[in-house]
Amino acid sequence: MTPNQVRLDDIVETIRRLVVCESPSDDHAAVRASADVAAELGEQLLGVSPERITIEGVSHLRWQFGGAPRVVLVTHHDTVWPLGTLDRLPFAVSDGVLTGPGCFDMKTGLAMALHAVAALDDRDGVTVLVTGDEEVGSPSSRALIEESARGARAALVLEASADGGALKLERKGVSLYELVAHGVAAHAGLEPEKGVNASLELAHQLLAVATLGDPSTGTTVTPTAAASGTTSNTVPARASFKIDVRASTAAEQARVHNAMTGLEPVLAGASLELRGGVNRPPLEAAASAWLFDRAAAAAERLGLAPLSGVAVGGASDGNFTAGIGVPTLDGLGAVGGGAHAESEHVVVSEIVPRTLLLLELVRGLLDDAEAGA
């Protein structure tokens, strides 16, 4: 069942090389060094150098084979872990478990993508995209992701799986805001009546914003970090808080956005300033259903355990590909757990089966496209 090109030891070595080159998203030099490693590994496996794309100082890679993109493999090489984490949490393989910073999210997925594409007899129509700022919301790479996927038959996202290896069939959309209340400063002891208290205005707005969620649809609107004032004896002239919004549908995301933009000050003399907006559109079930059926059939052909799928709250670059109308299947990467946690790990025995699943899925999609299906 295993093609000669898909060998566990080779994939684990690729993962090791990626993991030991630390790549925190906010360190452009580290991400550039990581891109160098990924480019070298990819060139060794695929026989061709990638396109090197630097946007706003962030290093991205792209391999495009043939003409118009038909299947796009979406990956990233940045992680949430600061430089030096490797000293404390070194790369290791022990008792069937692979560990190291970024192994699960998502350097194993990147390694799987490279090895799966390397095993293809015909790569015409395949694009492998490796971005460098996914963990901070893909500010520099969003347009690149959308450009690379536009018109494709499918986008396959190599983010790690959900619990038990489940694929991710739905992802909530994300909106990020900061609401700033502006007031008037005054001495809190001598003449507080001459001030307009931005903290009080903020309190009114916090309560209003907290009502915008809808448990029946799974929409969450969560006030998070807040700041106010300058000194203990000054009526604060400025106060602010940030808001994290998660919504399962574009309609819900738009409803909350309209409500946010419609907020009005409560206190006389106060004013509001809203910053931010929609960060990622939702990956809705309709975008993944057809591809999940294809993946399930591929798993059956390979003799793998039946696949399962779940909806998750976190977002990925698959939200962007789904947002432009490209069928998108997420969670095709590593099986394990502990994303963004010190318990991050990958189940080694699942690496080859998941790589074969990806290979079979890509091959089938390319064959269908060639036949005009």
Q: Which domains does the chain have, with CATH numbers?
A: 8-170+282-371 (3.40.630.10), 173-280 (3.30.70.360)
Burial of residue 9, with CB atoms counted within 10 A of its CB: 0-12 exposed, 13-18 middle, 19 or more buried: exposed
DSSP letters, 80-149, are SPPTTHHHHS--EEETTEEESTTIIIIIHHHHHHHHHHHT-S--TTEEEEEES-GGGT-TTTHHHHHHHH
Residue by residue, pLDDT tens for the chain (373 residues) are 355 679 999 999 999 999 999 999 999 999 999 999 999 999 999 999 999 999 999 999 999 999 889 999 999 999 999 999 999 999 999 999 999 999 999 999 999 999 999 999 999 999 999 999 999 999 999 999 999 999 999 999 999 999 999 999 999 999 999 999 999 999 999 999 999 999 999 999 999 999 999 999 999 999 999 999 999 999 999 999 999 999 999 999 999 999 999 999 999 999 999 999 999 999 999 999 999 999 999 999 999 999 999 999 889 999 999 999 999 999 999 999 999 999 999 999 999 999 999 999 999 999 885 555 5
Lookup: tokens for 223: 């006030």
The pLDDT, as a whole number, for residue 221 is 98
Q: How far is CA 25 from CA 15, 73, 262, 306, in A?
A: 18, 20, 34, 35
pLDDT for 31 equals: 98
Enter the tokens of residue 117.
Answer: 């594409």
- Which amino acid does the sequence have at 27? D
Determine how β-strand 345-347 pairs with β-strand 97-99.
Answer: antiparallel
For residue 120, what pLDDT is reported? 97
Q: What is the pLDDT of residue 5?
A: 75
